[in-house]
Structure 1
C-alpha cells in the first residue's frame, strides 16, 4: 500500500543519471554554520556531531554516505533547507569521516548500527527534543533502515520515523552493479580515499598488516572488503559482510513510518534495491521511485533552486510523521 508517487521534472542534461549524480556531488553548496560536538564512545573512540540549530524541539539526524561527511554537498543543502524550515539538524560524521582519523582500527561500515543506536540515545539523554527524525543518504540510508528494523523493539519513542535516499539496500547485488564499467569513475574515487585510510591504519596499528601490493591493486569493493572490512570487523568474507549488513532483510520489521526514495535511473542500484512488494505489504515502510534523479542527485536544472529531494523529506516529515518545527 505505501508506495508514494512523485516525479522529478528534469531538463536536459539532467535526465542523464551521471550528470545528475556528478553535478550534485561536486557542486559547492553553502556550508552550514555548524557547531561541532565530539562524543566519546563506549570503545574509547569518538564520533563528531555537527549541530545546526534553530531552537526547535524537533530535530533531524542526518547521516552521510560512503566516504562523505557533514560537508558533503547533499548534506549541506539538506541541513540548510531543514534549518530554514525551523528544524534543528544534527549531521553525524561516521568514524574517520570528520576530517580526523578515529582512535581505533575499526572505522565504519554499511551495517554498523550500534553507532546509530549510540548517537540516538545520546541525543535523547542530553537534549530536549520531543521529535527526532532519522535521515540518511546511500550508505547512511542503509544504516537508518537497518537500525529501524533491527532495533524495532527498543527504538525510543522520541524517534518518529526515518527517510532514506538512494540506498543500496541489497549490498550483494549493488556492489556488483557498482563494479560495472559505467560506474568506474565512482569506484575509483571511493577506493582512492578508502585505500589511503587502510594504509594509515596499518601504520598506526602494527598488528594489522595487510599486503600493500593488494591494497594498491584493489579495484572493486570485493577487494576492499577482503583487505579491511571482513578481517577487521570479524566477517567471514565479503559475501558474509554484504548479507549481514544489508538493510533489505530488516524492512519488513520496521514499525516506524519510514520512506525510501530510490531513483529508477540510479546507476549504483540493482533491481533488488527497489522493494515494491515489501512496501505494498507494509503499513510503515513507504517507497518512492521517481524516474530520474541519479544517485543522491535529484537535480532538475542548472542553478537548481527547486530542492526536490529536500522538499520530499520535509513533506514526509510533516504529512506522514506529523512532526512540525
Structure 2
C-alpha cells in the first residue's frame, strides 16, 4: 500500500513539472500524425470506378440541369440535351469518382463476411427502419408471391403517377436485407419520394409456398406477371428496377427475354452471377469457398425448403433425403432445383439459366455493377465482351467491394454502392419525365392476363444454340451500332429489330472519373493553418511569462 501511495506522489510531482504547452504540443503532434496517416490511406485506397462500354453507346435525351449531386428539371420550353449513356453516368453519377473501403475490410472476403454477419438490420439495431406493406399476389399456377411495398400501396397515399422501383433480392434473401433496405430508404424519402416494391421470391422473407415449386435463377415468369400487374395498376407510373445477386440474374434474363417489349425505363444489376457455370465451378473448387460460402448458402436453402418439404413428398423426381443432406449449392440444385424446373441435370440448368446469354438482347439502358474481388461472383463470369458490344449496357467495376459489400467508413459503416444505384436510377427517371410525351420512350402496354387458363412461359427459354454467329444478328435482335439519337432506340418495331442500324465497328471505350482532391493535401493545408494558430498561441504565452 505504501508503494502505491509513493508511486502516486511521484506521478503528481511529474505532472506538476509538465507545462500546459508541452501537453498541447504532444496532443497536436499525435493528432496530426494520425490524420496524415489516415489521409495517406484514403489517397491510396480511393480508387475511382471504371466505366466500360461500347464507344458509341445509345444517346440519352433529357432536360436536366447539370449540377453535381442534384438533378433538377429545366424549363419545359428549353431545348432537350443529348449525351451518350457513358457521359450521362459521368455527369449525373458523381459517386463513381471514388470509393474509400473501410480500412479493416481490405479484401473481398472480409467485405463479404461482414455483409453476411454484421451489416444486417437486426444486428445494427435498425430492423424497424422501414415498415413495409405486404401484398400477396396469386400466380396463375396457384403459387403466391409476396410484394413488400414502401411507402403504402394505397393510391390515395402516393400519387398514381409516382415512379415505381421494383427490387429483386439475392439467394434466400428478401425485403429485410440491408442492401435492399438501403436503396428503398433512399428512394422513398426526400428528395425523391418514389414508391418502391420488393418482390420476394417464393418462400423467401417468411412468405408462403402453396405449390411444389420454389424459385430459381432462371425462372422469370413470376417477375413478368408481377411487373405486368404493377403496370396495369399504375399505367402512368414510370417503372425502373434493381436486382442483387441471384435477383439480378433473374432480372437481367427477364429484360433480355422481352427485348424491346420490356416495360422498364432502365435497370441496375448488382453483383450478378451472370455465368452460372463459371460461378459454380469457382464456388465449388476452392476449399474455403466450398466449406464456407457454398455450405452456408446450402444451409439457407435447406432452411427455406424444410418449411415446405411436405409439398414435395409426392414429387416423382425429388428425393427429400438427398435434398436435406445437400452440403453445397450445386448438390441442392442437382437434387431439387433442376428436377423441379424440368432440366435434364444441374449442368443444363446452369447453362440455360445464365443471364449472360441474354445480355445481347437487352434493349433498355442497363448498368452492371461489379467488384473485381468478389469471392462469389468471379470476374471471369462477367461477359465483358457481350456487355461492351451492346450499346445499351454499361459495365462499372471497382477494385474492392466483395459480394454485395462495398462498405466505407470506420465505425459507422455504410454501403457506398447505394449512392451510384440511387443517383443513376433517379437521373434516368427524371430524364424520362423531363421530356415531352412525344419524345419519351414508348412503353409497351401490358398484355391482358387472367388467372384461369393463362399459359405460363417455360421455366427457362434457352437461346437457340444454332443461332447465327453474325455479330449483328444475335437471337434475332439486330444490334444498334452507330451513335443513335433518342428516336432511334425509342421507335423500334415490335419484332425485336431496330429501325436504324449502321456498320458494327466493335470499338470499346473505358472512362475513369477524376479522383476527388487529395485528402492528404487538404489535411496538410488545414493543419498548416492550425500550426500557425498554435505557434502564435505558444508565443503569446511565452511572451506573457517574460513580462
* Deviation (angstroms), 1:109: 0.2
Tell me if 1:12 matches 2:103.
yes
- Is the 2:260–2:364 Cα contact (8 Å) retained in structure 1? no
- Mapped to 2, the partners of 1:52 and 1:216 lie a distance apart of 35
Q: Write out per-residue CA displacement over residues 297-323 of structure 1, whole angstroms, 9 at most, x where no aligned residue.
A: 110134446542111112212344525
1:67-86 paired onto structure 2 within 5 Å: 67-84=172-189, 85-86=192-193
Deviation at 1:198, TM superposition (A): 3.6
* 2:388 maps to 1:297: no
Return 5+ residue gaps in structure 1 as ranges: none
1:181 aligned residue (283, 287, 290):
287
Q: Classify 1:198/1:51 alpha carbon distance in 2 versus 1 (closer, same or farther; 3 Å).
A: closer
Partner of 2:337: 229
Structure 1 residue 76 displacement after superposition: 1.3
Distance 1:61 1:216 in 2: 32
Q: Name the CA shift for 1:110/1:207 in 2 (closer, same or farther; >3 Å).
A: same
Q: Which residue of 1 aligns with 2:113?
A: 22
Three-state SS of the structure 2 residue aligned to 1:39 is strand
Deviations for 1:223-244, whole angstroms, at most 9, x for unmatched residues?
1112101111100100110011
Equivalent residue, structure 1, for 2:166: 61
Q: Distance in 2 between matches of 1:41 and 1:260?
A: 29
The 5 A counterparts of 1:102-141 are: 102-141=209-248
Name the SS of the counterpart of 2:242 in structure 1: strand
Q: Deviations over 1:4-39 (max 9, x none)?
A: 783422131222212212223332333411111111
TM-aligned CA deviation for residue 119 of structure 1: 0.7
SS in structure 1 opposite 2:106? coil
Q: Is the 8 A contact 2:309 2:320 kept in 1?
A: no
> Does 2:348 match 1:247?
no
Contact 1:58–1:132 at 8 Å: present in 2 too?
Answer: yes
CA contact (8 A) 2:275 2:383 kept: no
Q: Give TM-score scaled by structure 2 length.
A: 0.56
SS at 2:210 equivalent: coil
Hey, what's the Cα distance between the residues in 2 that align with 1:167 and 1:47?
22
Q: Secondary structure at the match of 1:160?
A: coil
What secondary structure, in the 3-state scheme, does the structure 1 residue paired with 2:225 have? helix
- For the 8 Å contact 1:70–1:91, the answer to whether it is kept is yes
Does residue 308 (structure 1) correspond to residue 416 (structure 2)? The answer is yes
Question: Which stretch of the first structure deviates more once superposed, 171-180 or 159-168?
Answer: 171-180
Residue 382 of structure 2, aligned match among 270, 274, 282 = 274
Residues 1:206 and 2:313 are matched in the alignment: yes
Matched residues, number: 323
Partner of 1:219: 327
Deviations 1:90-149 (A, max 9, x none): 011001003033101111000111111111101011125521111000000011111111
2:133 maps to which of 32, 35, 52: 35
Report the secondary structure of 1:226's partner residue: helix
Distance 2:211 2:265 in 1: 32
**2:461 corresponding residue in structure 1:** none
1:218 CA displacement: 1.9
Moved more, 131-140 or 82-91: 82-91
Find the aligned partners of 1:304 and 1:238 in 2 and give their Cα distance. 42
Q: CA contact under 8 A between 1:8 and 1:293: conserved in structure 2?
A: no
Task: Confirm or deny that 1:152 pairs with 2:252.
Answer: no
3-state SS of the aligned residue for 2:198? strand
Higher-Rg member (1/2): 2
**Deviation of residue 193 (structure 1)?**
2.5
CA contact (8 A) 1:105 1:205 kept: yes
Residue number in structure 1 paired with 2:452:
none
Q: What runs of 5+ residues in structure 2 fail to find an aligned partner? A: 1-52, 55-85, 91-95, 152-156, 435-547
Q: What RMSD, in angstroms, separates the aligned Cα atoms of the two structures?
A: 2.2
How far apart in 2 are the matches of 1:137 and 1:24? 13
Q: 1:59 to 1:269 in 2, by over 3 A?
A: same
- Cα-to-partner distance string for 1:221-278 (whole Å, 9 max, x where unaligned): 2211121011111001001100111100110110000111010000012333223222
For 2:265, what is the secondary structure of its paired residue?
strand
Matches within 5 A, 1:86-105: 86-105=193-212
> Which of 342, 354, 370 matches 1:262?
370
